[in-house]
Structure 1
């Protein structure tokens, strides 16, 4: 973790305790995304929340676990400004929802396949924001996946269209193969 997390997280926790004392509650708009897509960080956030609550004899809202996890997510980069957990979580959520609605299916979040899917989407989003998308080198594999798994490739193309529309960036075929 970036060493800056020690300051930013302690500052956040201090402010959270102060807000609690003043009965001020701020909602976390990406609570669900962080809870579901950054499960390890969220578990650490829950543990930290329990420690804070026990130490100070208070009951901070459950959303604080996601706020703590958010600080950990942001601290994963080498530089303090290298990650933006909220924008990552939003893109992951958008892609998952696009897949869910395109395939018209409910996803079992406890399933190992779902966990692997989320991991792949996270890696894609990290490459996207780091401007390190896979370059087109495996056209044969792209053609083969498109032929063998047309439904998966259709979903990948919808993701490509979404990203082009929202970010004005065209996803290379190697990334489509990865997503499919």
Structure 2
């Protein structure tokens, strides 16, 4: 392979037959010029992106700080190993662009916020672990201590890059629905739910699977009429709380849980009470 265009010390463009490819490797372009041959042992990654994405990625590689690009690539490589799954090539654009902008903001003293950090941490545990790994590497190599809110942003980018995963907007919507549901429970019951508690985790898991059943049009687990009546009578506050939160989801998101599901959710709320 011969160099067609140098993007930075670690990335070049080559023309391979009819295709334009981006080739990356540590120091791959050091003291190189156009038409120089690339040593095979220097090649770490090769990308073949469609024209628009390729142009965007080339622009990022040529303009963003190399240390930011290198860190993004290290995070992606670690994520693929940690998750034991390949990620969509678009993450090389999305995460690199996001990470560099976030690091610049932090270096300038701006705060990074993410209202869905707790939900993302619970919903996408393995991806959040990738974000925590990135947090340690960034602190060690660049001296930048990113907050947990940024860890959650990284986790969401990794999650949506997994093959067959929902889009970023769909993943955010799921996390938002869960957050809003929990806030409704807290408001109605007059309590503050500890996110690290096992009962919180059980409730969120239950709601998450309930949302999945609705999305996939799968049947809900039935509940005995006598048992439902007992829940309403014995755990009146928990049932009313579940009913109010379910009504909120129906009005706000057009999500309609059947009575049996409202009953099962009430049992989870009762544990929190």
By the TM > 0.5 criterion, same fold?
Answer: yes
Q: Higher relative CO (CA 8 A, sep ≥ 6), structure 1 or 2?
A: 1
CA contact (8 A) 1:102 1:155 kept: yes
Displacement after TM superposition at 1:123 (Å): 2.3
Displacement after TM superposition at 1:179 (Å): 1.2
Q: How does 1:64-143 map to 2 (within 5 A)?
A: 64-74=150-160, 78-81=164-167, 84-132=170-218, 134=220, 137-140=222-225, 141-143=227-229
User: For the residues of structure 2 that align with 1:144 and 1:134, how far apart are their CA atoms?
Assistant: 20
TM-score, scaled to structure 1: 0.75
CA contact (8 A) 2:91 2:157 kept: yes
Structure richer in helix, relative to its length? 1
Structure richer in strand, relative to its length? 2
Matched positions, count:
178
User: For the residues of structure 2 that align with 1:119 and 1:172, how far apart are their CA atoms?
Assistant: 17
Q: How does 1:16-31 map to 2 (within 5 A)?
A: 16-19=98-101, 20-21=103-104, 27-31=112-116
Stretches of structure 2 that go unaligned for 5 or more consecutive residues are 1-82, 267-273
Stretches of structure 1 that go unaligned for 5 or more consecutive residues are none
Deviates more, 1:84-93 or 1:37-46: 37-46
CA contact (8 A) 1:139 1:173 kept: no
Query: Cα distance 1:82–1:12, how it changes in 2: closer, same or farther (>3 A)?
Result: closer
| Alignment correspondent of 1:175 | 261
User: For the residues of structure 2 that align with 1:144 and 1:75, how far apart are their CA atoms?
Assistant: 45
The structure number with the bigger radius of gyration is 2
TM-score, scaled to structure 2: 0.53
State whether structure 2 residue 11 is matched by structure 1 residue 11.
no
**RMSD (CA atoms):** 3.4
Instruction: Give a deviation string over 1:20-53, Cα, whole Å, max 9, x none.
Output: 3586869454343445544724333111232345
| Alignment correspondent of 1:166 | 252
User: For the residues of structure 1 that align with 2:169 and 2:229, how far apart are their CA atoms?
Assistant: 34
Query: Cα distance 1:84–1:77, how it changes in 2: closer, same or farther (>3 A)?
Result: farther
Query: Cα distance 1:88–1:151, how it changes in 2: closer, same or farther (>3 A)?
Result: same
Query: Cα distance 1:31–1:174, how it changes in 2: closer, same or farther (>3 A)?
Result: closer
User: For the residues of structure 2 that align with 1:127 and 1:168, how far apart are their CA atoms?
Assistant: 14
Query: Cα distance 1:131–1:54, how it changes in 2: closer, same or farther (>3 A)?
Result: farther
